[in-house]
Amino acid sequence: MLSRIDVITLFPDWVEGLKSLGLTGKALASGQVELKTWNPRDFTSDVHRSVDDRPYGGGPGMVMRPEPLARAIEAASSAGSPARVACLSPQGRKLDQAGVLELVQQQRLILVCGRYEGIDQRVLDELIDDEWSIGDYVLSGGEPAAAVMIDAVVRQIPGVLGHERSAIEDSFADGLLDCPHFTRPENWRGHAVPEVLTSGDHGRISQWRRAQALHRTRRLRPDLWSERTLDSEDQDALAAWSQEFS
Ligand code: ADE
């Protein structure tokens, strides 16, 4: 289970800020999961402390120089037990909940945030185990993507969320979207909470929630839906609540 995350970044504030935000922040600030940042600029040896250079072959933008980046990764690697080294980039495997659950099984993660036009390919080839993307769009750097990944993995660590079932019942935990949620007042601006939720009948409530999750997924995410085979309980749940959906 994950106990330590190191982040290689030119903008440590992006990541350090996570320590002050919410339940995952509390876990990071309290050391329940250790979070440490390493700045490649601290591993330069020239007077300008330069971390980027022009691309061979010409073209716009700058490329992160290999040596400061490699030294920062190596310093992080040698500062503890063996770690999986992951780079955030648009070329990477698309992060989803299955990926999050894989990552949280690692004891240690080193996340490398690229900036500028990219990272020298030789660093990727020599020092990076895998690349992850958070979606098909281009960010100015890997930091926001690392922040997303950190939040998603840390909340899966037992004891981090207040309510142990929250992570299990999350959207995607079972390949489904989450069901709708309601809180007081029972009637808000003329809209009542679904009757079943105030019935006190826990069997009906959990069947309703399951049916809602199934129905939402079928309606909103046909890509997820097409991968499912419905077991008899799910078929019963959908059938029992089919009038709600019509
Ligand atoms: N760096 C730039 N764009 C990114 C993306 N979409 N995902 C992960 N890292 C990135």
**48 and 117: one domain?**
yes
- 173 falls within a domain: no
- 149 falls within a domain: yes
- Please say if 125 is a catalytic residue: no
The tens digit of pLDDT for each residue in 42-58 reads 999 999 999 999 999 99
- 180 falls within a domain: no
Strands 118-119 and 187-188: unpaired
- Answer for the pair 221, 176: CB distance below 8 angstroms, yes or no: no
Catalytic-role residue among 117, 169, 178, 234: 117
The tens digit of pLDDT for each residue in 72-120 reads 999 999 999 999 999 999 999 999 999 999 999 999 999 999 987 899 9
CATH code of the domain in which 68 resides: 3.40.1280.10
**121 and 236: one domain?**
no
- Answer for the pair 95, 148: CB distance below 8 angstroms, yes or no: yes
- Please say if 117 is a catalytic residue: yes
**199 and 144: one domain?**
no
**120 and 48: one domain?**
yes
Residue with tokens 């309290």: 30
- 159 falls within a domain: no
Those residues with Cβ within 8 angstroms of residue 185's Cβ, 6 or more apart along the chain or in another chain: none
**145 and 198: one domain?**
no
pLDDT for residue 165:
59
CATH code of the domain in which 231 resides: 1.10.1270
Q: Which domain holds residue 97?
A: 4-154
- Residue ranges around ligand 1 (CB below 6 Å): 88-90, 133-135, 137-139, 142, 145
**102 and 202: one domain?**
no
Domain boundary among 108, 138, 154: 154
| pTM, to two decimals | 0.93
